[in-house]
Structure 1
Amino acid sequence: MTTSHRRQLSGALALIAVLAVGAALLVAFGARLPIASALTSPGGSSTGGPTTSDNTDRGQVNTANQVRERGNAIRCTAQLAGHEAYVELYENSHYGNSVQIVLDDDGLGAGREVVSPLVTGEQVHGSVVVDGTRAVVSGPATRNADKIPVAEEFDHAGEHLTTSGFRRSLTTDLTLRYGASTVPLSCDDAFHFVLDVTREKTTD
């Protein structure tokens, strides 16, 4: 993604790449810090993890600097009536949910924060108005059984982040509806995550 619009879109899910491939990609994506600390969030630190599962599952702070986060991250592309479409859905129990859709590289796109879940059970549903027309992402997403461990430790934006937890890839069959057109989405990055993150300031 080379244009400013697509860079902004990628920024919303920057730490997805960190979790999927490694912390070194953080520089390439230039994450927004709240999302970064969230998706980076595994907390395998000396605090020993969450102490009250019901509360920590909802993103409650366990200690002064440790948070458990869970959610879903989905990134997809499609060809839509001669346009190249980019879709990102992001759920985080601590930082909230967002939908972003961009068509082509000409700045035609929109994003919004949402309160309602984007993934309910095994069904995905998210929408945003792009250039006066509502774009809707929907379809099934099933968690795969295998848990992929996540463990990262790195510095970012004046903080030292220590993360631990796991992610499970999602098998998706999603579509994008925009106006009278409905097309299948190809989702190369799609997973559920449960992560703890410990944050320590490295600068005053």
Structure 2
Amino acid sequence: MIHHARSALAGVLTAAFLVATPAAASAPGTAGPYTRTVEKGHVLACAGTEGGTRVDIELYENSAFGTHVQVSVRTAETVYVRGGETDGGLFDGGTISRRLVVEPREEAARSSQTVVISGSYAPAGPRERVHEVHDEPFGPVVTKGWRVPLSAVVTVNALGQRVGLACDPAFAFDLRVRRPAGSVDRA
């Protein structure tokens, strides 16, 4: 589910970029109106196992499109999941902290469980230039800006286990994104 973090995050980022459409503006030398957004935030995809409990998480916070969390907690008996939007402030000045309720996927499983995600993050290298062009059915999406690799120490308390997680990818971003106006309506 979450094990293909790099490709999954690319999909999450692309989907999140298409959630809202700000006011359109014409780009010089182009055939039509485009929307432009400034997007700043963080991405972490982490996984770990302890005492028979496997935890996978994806944490995504974007100034233009909100905060999204995906959690999977697996035991030999069942899988608990949570995904979707959550309150902002997930990444707060080097600290990560969130309490979430995860639901069992199987009807016969135990009731909902609470998980606590906690940890810290810091820049782990020089910022890297980003320039990507994605051809979408509605036209090209151009992303320019910066990405900074992060080191992260993250643990999850779930089902009576404290699970240390390894995070890859982990980065902060500051991007300018241009996409055809109305692309959300056509997607």
What TM-score, normalized to structure 1? 0.68
Q: Deviations over 1:91-150 (max 9, x none)?
A: 000100011111249653112422231111010112321231111111110023511100
2:9 is matched with: 14
SS of aligned partner of 1:117: coil
Q: 2:101 touches 2:115 (CA, 8 Å); kept in 1?
A: yes
Among 136, 140, 143, the residue aligned to 1:156:
136
Aligned pairs for 1:69-80 (under 5 A) are 69-80=39-50
Aligned to 2:54: 84
**Matching residue of 1:199:** 179
The counterpart of 1:67, out of the listed 37, 54, 71, is 37
Q: How much identity, in percent, do the aligned residues show? A: 25
Point out the structure with the larger strand share.
2
Aligned partners of 1:153 and 1:162 also within 8 Å: yes
Give, in angstroms, the shift of residue 202 of structure 1: 10
Identify the match of residue 187 of structure 1 among 135, 151, 167: 167
Runs of 4 or more above 4 Å deviation = 9-13, 201-204
Cα distance between partner residues in 2 of 1:72 and 1:180: 28
5+ residue gaps, structure 1, are: 16-28, 39-45, 48-62
Structure 2: which 5+ runs fail to align? 20-26, 104-111
What is the SS of the residue equivalent to 1:124?
strand
Paired AA for residue 14 in structure 1? L
State the alpha-carbon separation in 2 of the partners of residues 11 and 143 from structure 1.
19
Matched, 1:137 2:117: yes
- The answer to whether the 8 Å contact 1:154/1:161 transfers is yes
Task: Specify the code of the residue in structure 2 equivalent to 1:164.
Answer: K
For residues 69 and 94 of structure 2, what CA distance do their matches in structure 1 show? Answer: 18
Relative to structure 1, the CA distance from residue 70 to residue 80 in structure 2 (aligned partners, 3 Å threshold; closer, same or farther) is same
Counterpart CA distance in 1 for 2:7 and 2:87 is 16
Q: CA deviation at 1:35?
A: 1.5
Match of 1:110 in 2: 82
Q: Is the 8 A contact 1:112 1:128 kept in 2?
A: no
* Contact 2:35–2:181 (8 Å) recurs in 1: no
Q: CA RMSD in A?
A: 3.1
- Greater displacement, 89-98 / 155-164: 155-164
Three-state SS of the structure 1 residue aligned to 2:64 is coil
**What residue in structure 2 maps to residue 122 of structure 1?**
94
- 2:70 is paired with a residue whose SS is strand
Aligned length: 163
Change (3 A) 1:68 1:102: same
Q: Which has the higher helix share?
A: 1
Structure 2 length normalisation: TM-score? 0.74
